[in-house]
Structure 1
Amino acid sequence: MVAGSELLEQRHMNLSLALATAALLSAEPSSTLPAGHPVIPPGTQASPARPGAAMPEGHPPTEGVAPSINPEQLPPGHPPMSGTGRAPPSADELLRQLDSTEGLADREKTFEIAASLGRLYYVNGRNTEALTYLQQALSRARPTRELFLAQRKKLGKAAMPTAEAAGCGFTVNMPVEEMGAVAQTRAQKGDAAGAAACSRAALAPVLDVAVMQANAHYLSNDSAKALAAYDAVLEVEPRHEDALYSRAALLFETKGDDVAALKEAGAGFEALVAAHPDSYRASMAKRMAGLVEETVRAGGRKKLVASRAEDRRIRLSQAPTAAAPDAPRPLSQDMVDAVKNTERTPELEQGLAKLVEEGEALLAKGNYQEALANYTRVVPFQPENGRAKAGMAWALVGLERPMAARVWGVAVQSDPLSVEKLGDTLKAKGDEKGAKALWAKLAADAPEYPNKASLQEKLGK
C-alpha cells in the first residue's frame, strides 16, 4: 500500500509529466475547429470568455459543459486538478498519449522533460524507450559534466567549496542547463573553484538519471553498458552510494571468475561502508565484501564452489557412520540418570515382566515391530534381562534390520540359554516354525554352545 506522502508525490510526478507532455505536444499543429465554429481570422488569438459573458455570434451552444473549478474550493486532501475539472492523467494514460505522438523521440527537449519521460518509461518497465529519453537528458547535461571535470582538474588537490559557499545562487527547480550556464560564466572569469562547485551542484539530478540509465542497461541484459554508466557516475562522484553498490554487485555477479574484477568489487563494497556507514546497505555490503574476499582466495567462483564441494565430501567421509534408521536413539546422560534413579518398586518390576510376556506373544504372531517396542521399554531398566535381550534380538532378526546381527550376537554371547528358551516359548504359543528357525540360527551362530545336543534334538537331527 502506498503511504499518503508517496501518493501525493506520485500525483505530483504525474502532474509534472502531464505538463511536460503538454509542452511537447504544443508543437503539434492545431486540430481543426469543431463543426459550426466561426472562422478565426489569421493572427487572432482566442481567449476564454468571462464567466457568464455572452459568446460571440455564431458560437455553438455550451450547455452541459462542465464549469471550471477553483482549486481553492476543493476539500482538504483532494488530489490536484489540472484546471479542466479533471484529475491529472494516470501513468498509463500518459504512456498511451506519448506512444501515439508521432516523432516524439526526435524532438528537442530540455533536460527536465527528457528525464521525466525516461523516468516514466523506466518505472513502467519499458527500458528500451526509457534509455532513449534518459540518454537525451544526459546529452543535454554533457557540457556541464565536462565543465565540472575540467574545473576540478584545475583545482588539483585544493578543496572544492559547496555551492552555497561559492554563492552559485541556485534556486529550487532551477533547470540544469541554466545552472550549467552559471558555472560556465564562473569558469570564463577564471574562478575554477566556483565553477567546479556550481557545476557539481548542477549535476546532482544528472547523476540520478545516470544511475537510472545504468539500471535500465542492466535490466536490458547489457552488463557492459551498465558498468560503463556506473563508472561515469563515479567519475563525477566517487562516493555515490547507489553507483558504488550497484557496480560492485554487478562485477561480482558477472565476473565471478575474474580475480581482478572481484578485487574491484570488494573495494567497491568496502568504499560504500566507509563512505556511508549508517546506510541500510552497509551491513549487506560488509557481508558481500567478505564473500568476495573468500572467492578471491579460492581463485574465482567456480573454484570456490568446487572447493566447498570437496570440503563437504571430506567431512562426510570422516564423519562417524550414521546410525541405521532402526537403531535405538542414543540416551542422553539425563535419560541414563533418570533410569538409574528410578525406584525399583514391585509395581515397576511387574510391569516390566508383563511387557516381556506380551512381547513374546507378539513374536509368536509375527508382530515383530510391536514386540520390539515392548522390549525397548524393558531393556533400559533391566539391561541384564536375558529373556528381554533374546526377544529384542529375535524381533530385529524378524524385521531384517541392519543392526539385528549385532544385537543377536550380544544376546547369544551373553545368555544363549535365554535365546534357546525363547524358542521353547514360541513353540508353546503355536509358532513352531519360528522356534525351529531360532534354534537353527542359534546352533549356527554359537557352535560352542554347551547345550548344543539339546538343540539338535529339538531340530530333529
Structure 2
Amino acid sequence: MPEGHPTMPASAPVAPGAPLPQGHPPVSDANKLPPSAEELMKQLDSTEGLREREKTFEIASSLGKLYYTNGRNAEALSYLAQAQAQSDGARTRFLALKKKLGKTPLLSLAEANCGFTPGQTLDAMDAAVQARAKSGDIAGAATCARASLEPVLDVELLRGNALYLQGDSVASLKAYARVLEVEPKHAEGLFSHASLVFETQGENLQALKSAREGFDALVAVHPQSPRAPMARELSQRIEETVKAGGRQKWLASRAADRRVRLSQGQAQAQVGALPSDAPRPLTPEMVDAVKNTERTPELEAGLAKLVDEGEEHLARGRYQEALANYTRVVPFQPENGRAKAGMAWALVGLGRPMGARVWSVALQGDAGAVEKLGDTLLAKGDAKGAKALWEKLSQDVPDYPNKAALQAKLSQ
C-alpha cells in the first residue's frame, strides 16, 4: 500500500460508491477512460472562441482531422485552413530551396542526416532547415525541408477531400495541386487530382490527357498501391473518352452500344453506361442555404424517407437514383452514417472516379454503418450486392473490429 495508507480490516471489500475510510489518500482518475470522439467534439464546440484562437500547426491539424473523420467538414476546413497557414512558411522555404537546386535531385534521408525525432514540431524542424540553409548546405536543407512537410501534405489532402465533399471542386483541385507541387510523385495526390479532373472536365480533352498522365504516373511509381488497379482502369476509360471526343460523345456511344446489345438480348449483365444527368456539386451559396434551413420535424421525416428510398434504389441496382436521394440528405445531415454509406456505395456502383475517395471517408467515419447497409440490401433481396459490399469492406478494412461476424456473413 502507498505510504500513509491506513490499515484495512480483513473484512469484505467496501461497497462501490461508499465513502473512503478516514485518512484514505485521494484516488486518481488514471484509470478513467478517455472521452469518445463525440464527447470530445462536444467539449470543443462549447469552448468559447476556440476556432478564432491562434494555434500551432500540430493542434490545428489534429482538430481538423478529428472533425473530418467524424463527417463535420465545415469545422474541419476551418481548422485545416489554420494548419495550412501555419505551414506556409516552411512550404515556401522548401520550394525556394528546391528551385536553387535546379535539376539536382534531393539527397536520401540517410545522406542528409536531418536528425529529426518522432513527434518533433514543424516549427522546430523548420528552424533546423533554416540553420542548415544559412550554413550553405542547400542540398541538405532542401532534403530536410521536404521531410518536414510530410504532415503538411496530409493536411492538404484532407482539405481537398473536405472541399470536394462540401461541393467546392475548384478549391479541391487547388488543394490537390499544392500536394503535387511539393511532391509530384505523391500517390494519393496523383489519384485524387486525376480523379477530380476526370470527373469535372469531361469535355476538356487536354485536361483529360493530363488526368491520364496522373493515373499512369501513379501506376509507374507505385505499382503496389491499392489505388493502382483503379488507376489503370480509369486511364483506359480516359483513352476511350478522348478518342470519342469527350464524355458526352463517349456516353452516347456507350448508350448506342447498349441498345444494340439489349435488342439482341445479350447484354443484361453488361449494362454499364454512366448516366449523363449526374447531380451537380453544391455551390457555396447552396451550402449556406442548407446551413440556414430550419430543422423541422417535417424536414427530418422527409430526409429519413429519402434515405429509405435510396436504399430501395440501391437494392434494385438504381445507383443514379440512389445518389440523387443521398445528395439531398448529406448536406443537411453530414453526420448521418447511414446516408454516407449509401452515397459511397452508389458512387462505387456507378464507377465514378471519386467513388473510392467517398467510400474511404465512409469507412473512416462509420464502417459499422457500411456493414449494416449490406444487411439492408440482403433484407431487400439484393444478396449479390450485400456480399459484394461486405467483401469490399473486409478487403479495405483488414482490422475491422467486427471481422468475425463479417466473415460469417460472407460464408453463408
Q: Give yes or no for TM over 0.5.
A: yes
Q: Is the 8 A contact 1:272 1:282 kept in 2?
A: yes
Work out the CA distance in 2 between the residues paired with 1:301 and 1:279: 27
Given candidates 182, 191, 196, the residue that maps to 1:250 is: 196
Encode CA deviations 1:178-209: one digit per residue, 9 max, x unaligned.
10110011112221111101111100111011
Deviation at 1:169, TM superposition (A): 1.0
Encode CA deviations 1:392-433: one digit per residue, 9 max, x unaligned.
xxxxxxxxxxxxxxxxxxxxxxxxxxxxxxxxxxxxxxxxxx
Q: Is the 8 A contact 1:138 1:206 kept in 2?
A: yes
Q: Which residue in 2 is equivalent to 1:144?
A: 90
Work out the CA distance in 2 between the residues paired with 1:101 and 1:114: 15
Q: Is the 8 A contact 1:66 1:85 kept in 2?
A: no
Q: CA RMSD in A?
A: 2.3
Are 2:183 and 1:201 equivalent residues in the alignment? no
Q: Which residue in 1 is equivalent to 2:137?
A: 191
Given candidates 290, 293, 310, the residue that maps to 2:239 is: 293
Q: Which residue in 1 is equivalent to 2:107?
A: 161
Q: Give the AA of the match of 1:234.
A: L
Work out the CA distance in 2 between the residues paired with 1:96 and 1:116: 16
Work out the CA distance in 1 between the residues paired with 2:46 and 2:221: 45
Q: Give the AA of the match of 2:42.
A: R
Deviation at 1:283, TM superposition (A): 1.3
Work out the CA distance in 1 between the residues paired with 2:116 and 2:141: 13
Given candidates 116, 134, 149, the residue that maps to 1:170 is: 116
> Given the superposition, is the C-alpha separation of residues 312 and 172 from structure 1 closer, same or farther in structure 2, using an over 3 Å criterion?
closer
Deviation at 1:52, TM superposition (A): 5.7
Work out the CA distance in 2 between the residues paired with 1:108 and 1:295: 47
Deviation at 1:308, TM superposition (A): 2.6
Work out the CA distance in 2 between the residues paired with 1:311 and 1:274: 32
Structure of higher CA gyration radius: 1
Aligned residues: 249
Deviation at 1:242, TM superposition (A): 0.7
Q: How does 1:38-437 map to 2 (within 5 A)?
A: 64=20, 67-69=26-28, 83-313=29-259
Normalising to structure 1: TM-score of the pair?
0.51
Q: Is the 8 A contact 1:161 1:197 kept in 2?
A: yes
> Given the superposition, is the C-alpha separation of residues 66 and 259 from structure 1 closer, same or farther in structure 2, using an over 3 Å criterion?
farther
Encode CA deviations 1:83-119: one digit per residue, 9 max, x unaligned.
5441111111110000000000111211111111000
Q: Give the AA of the match of 1:98.
A: L
Work out the CA distance in 2 between the residues paired with 1:120 and 1:152: 33
Q: Give the AA of the match of 1:100.
A: S
Work out the CA distance in 1 between the residues paired with 2:4 and 2:132: 50
Encode CA deviations 1:246-268: one digit per residue, 9 max, x unaligned.
11111111111221221111111
Q: Is the 8 A contact 2:61 2:155 kept in 1?
A: yes
Deviation at 1:132, TM superposition (A): 0.7
Work out the CA distance in 1 between the residues paired with 2:175 and 2:258: 41
Q: Give the AA of the match of 2:86.
A: R
Work out the CA distance in 2 between the residues paired with 1:51 and 1:298: 85
Regions of 4+ moved over 6 Å = none
Q: Larger relative CO (CA 8 A, sep 6+): 1 or 2?
A: 2
Q: Is the 8 A contact 2:4 2:25 kept in 1?
A: no
For the residue of structure 1 that corresponds to 2:143, the secondary structure is helix
Q: Is the 8 A contact 1:180 1:202 kept in 2?
A: yes
Q: Give the AA of the match of 2:135.
A: K
Q: Give the AA of the match of 2:41.
A: L
Deviation at 1:284, TM superposition (A): 1.3
Q: Is the 8 A contact 1:214 1:230 kept in 2?
A: yes
Q: Which residue in 2 is equivalent to 1:25?
A: none
Normalising to structure 2: TM-score of the pair?
0.57
Work out the CA distance in 1 between the residues paired with 2:199 and 2:210: 12
Work out the CA distance in 2 between the residues paired with 1:183 and 1:85: 41
Q: Which runs of 5+ in 1 are unaligned?
A: 1-49, 54-61, 70-82, 321-461
Deviation at 1:315, TM superposition (A): 6.5
Q: Is the 8 A contact 1:227 1:250 kept in 2?
A: yes
Work out the CA distance in 2 between the residues paired with 1:66 and 1:126: 43
> Given the superposition, is the C-alpha separation of residues 63 and 278 from structure 1 closer, same or farther in structure 2, using an over 3 Å criterion?
same
Q: Is the 8 A contact 2:5 2:25 kept in 1?
A: no
> Given the superposition, is the C-alpha separation of residues 174 and 310 from structure 1 closer, same or farther in structure 2, using an over 3 Å criterion?
same
Encode CA deviations 1:227-257: one digit per residue, 9 max, x unaligned.
0000000000011111111111111111112
Work out the CA distance in 1 between the residues paired with 2:56 and 2:110: 25
Deviation at 1:63, TM superposition (A): 5.3
Encode CA deviations 1:133-167: one digit per residue, 9 max, x unaligned.
11111111111101100001101111211333212
Deviation at 1:51, TM superposition (A): 6.3
Work out the CA distance in 1 between the residues paired with 2:164 and 2:26: 48
Q: Which runs of 5+ in 2 are unaligned?
A: 7-17, 266-412
